[in-house]
Homo-oligomer: A and B are copies of this chain.
Amino acid sequence: METDILCNIFREVRARRPLLHHITNYVTVNDCANITLSTGAAPVMAHAKEEVEEMVGHAGALVINMGTLDTNLGESMLLAGNAANGRKIPVIFDPVGVGATRFRTAFASRLLNEVKVDVIKGNAGEIGVLAGADASVRGVDSGHMGGDPVVICRDLSAMTGATVVMSGASDIVCGKERTYIVDNGDPMMGRISGTGCMAASVIAAFAAVHPGYPEASATALAAFGIAGEHASVRCQGPGSFKPALFDAMAALSPEVLAREARIRQQ
């Protein structure tokens, strides 16, 4: 990707400060709110059936994360997803724990049938399960996954029409015609709770201002990964890594993003 594009998407986020409506889990919701602010966007979390459609009306993107799914929350996710489709704002779906229980698998399948999802972001096991590959999920962690991860992402993208993001040591981003590999990030990001969820918020911020979702997603992952790299050199462990991660994301400039991003087209 061109350096100019990276800079411009990030500048747009900071200039437009898109409102990101999250229907997400109660474990990492505070982290999602704070990474949204550090990225330069504005968070709102609202889940009541009575209001989600109206709240989507204010938003620049919708994040749906099923980390602590239940039946009520699922209904709100479907309502909000349809409202987002109606307004043509991007829907980012994080299928946390899909494959771990039939309940999660059934809901993810229903959501993908009833809502046009623009970006699906998961770990290898979650993306593998959705793609129908030979994969498993243990709790909310990736278990076993067989097969070529790029092929699996491409398959899921073809099945759903969504940009597919598989997080890992290198992140894979597959759109209809383009595949990117993002090599930014730090192992410390896997040692705290919430980085996966936060990545979806950062992607939402970039997708809200840039309609090329593969490029928006790759840029977002590079930005978040660079923040992780910066934070890891200033922390004493996973506890001090988290505040350092918010500091680094807030301090990141479009120019540093352009200089340090490691995005390869495949």
Collect the chain B residues with CB atoms within 8 Å of residue A187's CB: none
Query: Residue A25 at the B interface, CB < 8 A?
Result: yes
Query: Residue A31 at the B interface, CB < 8 A?
Result: yes
Query: Residue A38 at the B interface, CB < 8 A?
Result: yes
Measured between alpha carbons, how far is A242 from B70 in the docked complex, in Å? Answer: 30
Measured CB to CB, the nearest residue on chain B to A246 is B239
Collect the chain B residues with CB atoms within 8 Å of residue A237's CB: 38, 246-248, 250-251
Measured between alpha carbons, how far is A28 from B33 in the docked complex, in Å? Answer: 9
Least CB distance from A152 to B in Å reads 22
Q: How large is the interface on A (under 10, 10 to 19, 20 to 34, 35 or more residues)?
A: 35 or more
Q: Is the CB of B242 within 8 A of A239?
A: yes
Least CB distance from A39 to B in Å reads 11
Q: Is the CB of A46 within 8 A of B101?
A: yes
Given the known inter-chain contacts A70-B47, A139-B55, A238-B38, please indicate yes or no for A30 contacting B33, CB distance below 8 A: no
Measured between alpha carbons, how far is A28 from B43 in the docked complex, in Å? Answer: 12
Query: Residue A62 at the B interface, CB < 8 A?
Result: no
Q: Which A-B residue pairs are the 9 nearest by beta carbons?
A: A239-B246, A237-B247, A44-B139, A239-B243, A33-B193, A51-B103, A51-B101, A48-B70, A239-B247
Q: Which A residues have a C-beta under 8 Å from some C-beta of B?
A: 19, 21, 25-31, 33-34, 37-38, 42-51, 54-55, 58-59, 67-71, 97, 100-104, 138-141, 191-194, 234-240, 242-251
